[in-house]
Chain A
Amino acid sequence: MVIHSLYIINKAGGLIYQTDFTPGLNKLTANEYLVLAGTIHGVFAIASKLTPTALKLSTPSSLSSQSSSLSQTSSHGSKNSGLRCIETDKFSIFIYQTLTGVKFMLITSGPTSKDINDLNYSSDVAEGLLKNIYAIYSDYVMKNPFYSLDMPIRVDLFDTKVRELVKGTA
């Protein structure tokens, strides 16, 4: 699986970070990126509304909140009812929303032969990656005293660390 791009969307649906990892991708205009982020934000909310209540209630998460949710390594059955993944033949999109409402979104290449053997393979990889990106974000963005919350992220260290991480995964 090739990781193409990373988007970070704040809790109001504004795009605060966008970067491409694969060279040669077509760029959108700044405005189109913002519209894309807003759309994802909206679709996420719609997906959440569409989730049948019965499904929400029966997810194992209601159990895990009684035991320790620290040990939860994978979100198969997390509390998130929103959009988690969009798959097409050409590309996939994976989304992870934190409890504070920030969304991390990865655009990757489409399903590969590995996915035929293990349906969850690429979503597990993407999810692990997204959580690691969240950890880097919490360190290098949130702890930068001059970063103001919910504003576009212009932090070189964050760029570098994320690139290292993605390179290591690929």
Chain B
Amino acid sequence: MSKSLRIASDDIWKNKVEKVNAEVFTLTYGSIVAQLVRDFKNDYNQVNAQLEKMGYNIGIRLIEEFLAKTNQGRCSSFKETAEVISKVGFKIFLNITPQVTNWSTDSKQFSLIFDENPLEEFVELPDDEKAKQQLWYSNVLVGVLKGALEMVQLDVDAEFVSDVLRGDDRTELKLKLNRVLKDEIPTGED
């Protein structure tokens, strides 16, 4: 499955999606985060929350493009969802495929490991120690995942647990499936 997924999403990345200069993208995101930090007077928890909110609003819209471009059907398991998020979702929108690891025994929780992260290119966190302890610079991704999955009736918790910007070895985003919102699955979807 993973191989055909990869080929198909490669094709979508190459032929179907609009691209934007990577630096424009990175710098735009950077200035948003920096502005939020200024607006909230270095209250990094607030900044995290705002980034997540922005991400959520992106996610609930982006999912439609994802479905329209990939023709993806409903996943039969959360494991499949994880594969699709990494190999299709991140691939077609950011051209990266984070690793899926750290499955919990009940298959309801996994981690995405980002070997590369286009949002964090050129970035160094401010010198004050607070930033390194509190700010999750790429927190917009958390919101995007939550929003997008909610629209396909998956209620998940998502959070960063480590980030190379903070001096950790790797950037890790944890996703946990709370429940499938069965009541909200549109009729005709089984």
Residues of A within 8 A of B (CB): 11, 44-45, 47-49, 56, 61-62, 64-73, 78-83, 97-102, 131, 134-135, 137-139, 142-143, 149
| B180 CB → nearest A CB, Å | 13
A68 to B1: give the CA distance in the assembly, Å.
Answer: 6
Given A131-B71, A137-B68, A44:B188 Cβ within 8 A: yes
Given A49-B187, A82-B188, A97-B188, A69:B64 Cβ within 8 A: no
A80 to B189: give the CA distance in the assembly, Å.
Answer: 5
Given A69-B72, A70-B70, A71-B8, A137:B190 Cβ within 8 A: no
The main secondary structure of chain B at its interface with chain A is helix
| A46 CB → nearest B CB, Å | 9
Query: Do residues B73 and A100 form an inter-chain contact, with CB atoms below 8 A?
Result: no
**Residue on A nearest B65 in the bound complex, by CB:** A138
Encoded as 1 (CB less than 8 Å from any A CB) or 0, chain B from 45 to 89 comes to 000000000000000111111011111111110001000000010
Q: Which residues of B contact A143 (CB under 8 A)?
A: 61, 65
Selected A-B contacts with CB under 8 Å, 17 pairs: A45-B187, A69-B72, A70-B71, A71-B8, A73-B71, A78-B73, A79-B189, A81-B188, A98-B68, A99-B186, A99-B189, A100-B63, A102-B64, A135-B68, A142-B65, A143-B61, A143-B65
A138 to B177: give the CA distance in the assembly, Å.
Answer: 26
Cβ-based interface call for B164 (8 A):
no
Query: Do residues A70 and B61 form an inter-chain contact, with CB atoms below 8 A?
Result: no
Restricting to B155-180, which residues have a CB under 8 Å from any CB of A?
A: none
Q: Which residues of A contact B37 (CB under 8 A)?
A: none
A47 to B189: give the CA distance in the assembly, Å.
Answer: 12
Query: Do residues B68 and A61 form an inter-chain contact, with CB atoms below 8 A?
Result: no
Query: Do residues B61 and A100 form an inter-chain contact, with CB atoms below 8 A?
Result: no
| Partner pick for B5 among A47, A70, A98, CB 8 A cutoff | A70
Given A82-B188, A149-B60, A100:B1 Cβ within 8 A: no
Q: Which residues of B contact A48 (CB under 8 A)?
A: 187-188
Given A45-B187, A48-B188, A72-B71, A139:B65 Cβ within 8 A: yes
Cβ-based interface call for B9 (8 A):
yes
B interface bracket (residues with beta carbon within 8 Å of A): 20 to 34
| A2 CB → nearest B CB, Å | 25
Q: Which residues of B contact A83 (CB under 8 A)?
A: 188
A85 to B60: give the CA distance in the assembly, Å.
Answer: 28
| A8 CB → nearest B CB, Å | 12
| A29 CB → nearest B CB, Å | 28
Q: Which residues of A contact B9 (CB under 8 A)?
A: 70
Encoded as 1 (CB less than 8 Å from any A CB) or 0, chain B from 1 to 40 comes to 1001100110010000000000000000000000000000
A73 to B73: give the CA distance in the assembly, Å.
Answer: 11
| B99 CB → nearest A CB, Å | 20
A69 to B72: give the CA distance in the assembly, Å.
Answer: 6
* New contact pairs (19) apart from A64-B73, A70-B88, CB-CB < 8 Å: A11-B186, A65-B76, A68-B8, A69-B71, A70-B4, A70-B72, A71-B4, A79-B73, A81-B190, A98-B67, A99-B67, A99-B72, A99-B74, A99-B189, A100-B151, A100-B152, A101-B184, A135-B69, A138-B65
**Residue on A nearest B9 in the bound complex, by CB:** A70
Q: Which residues of A contact B65 (CB under 8 A)?
A: 135, 138-139, 142-143
Closest 4 CB pairs of A and B: A82-B188, A101-B186, A70-B8, A138-B65
